[in-house]
């Protein structure tokens, strides 16, 4: 999905959530906010963040809203700290489990 398609979908959702008259209900604002968030899956190998996977963050920034980054692997504390410094990332989900490293072997 390109950024224009994503923006179009968000505009349609906002139109559907908007009441015909009166104030915007809080529940609808919450639903729209959830639509305006992205999960960027970041790759790592041997404790180093794969810079090529940062394209997911760049695409998410174009869509707008909050960005959560996900990184998994063994001993990834340093990788998670590096991902937290990426411009635009608001939250990090880090799963420290060596079982995720098996794909590289």
Domain range list for the chain: 1-35, 37-105
| CATH no. for 37-105 | 3.40.50.620
Residue 69, Cβ density class (10 Å: 0-12 exposed, 13-18 middle, ≥19 buried)? buried
Q: What is the dihedral of CA 25, 31, 36, 42, to 10 degrees?
A: 150
Residue 63 — very low, low, confident or very high, per pLDDT cuts 50/70/90? confident
pLDDT score for 46: 82
In the structure encoding, which two tokens stand for residue 26, read together? 């809080």
In the structure encoding, which two tokens stand for residue 76, read together? 């990834």
Residue 40 — very low, low, confident or very high, per pLDDT cuts 50/70/90? very high
Is the pLDDT confidence value at 25 over 60? no
pLDDT score for 36: 77
pLDDT score for 15: 63
22 against 87, higher pLDDT: 87
Answer yes or no: pTM beyond 0.85. Answer: no
Which residue in the block uniquely carries the two structure tokens 């390109």?
A: 2
């Amino acid at each position: 999905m390109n950024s224009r398609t994503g923006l179009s979908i968000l505009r349609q959702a906002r139109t559907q959530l908007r009441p015909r008259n009166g104030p915007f209900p809080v529940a609808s604002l919450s639903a729209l906010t959830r639509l305006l968030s992205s999960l960027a899956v970041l790759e790592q190998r041997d404790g180093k963040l794969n810079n090529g996977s940062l394209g997911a963050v760049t695409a998410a920034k174009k869509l707008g809203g909050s960005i959560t980054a996900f990184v998994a692997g063994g001993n990834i504390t340093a990788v998670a700290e590096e991902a937290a410094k990426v411009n635009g990332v608001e939250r990090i989900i880090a799963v420290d489990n060596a079982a995720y490293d098996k794909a590289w072997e």
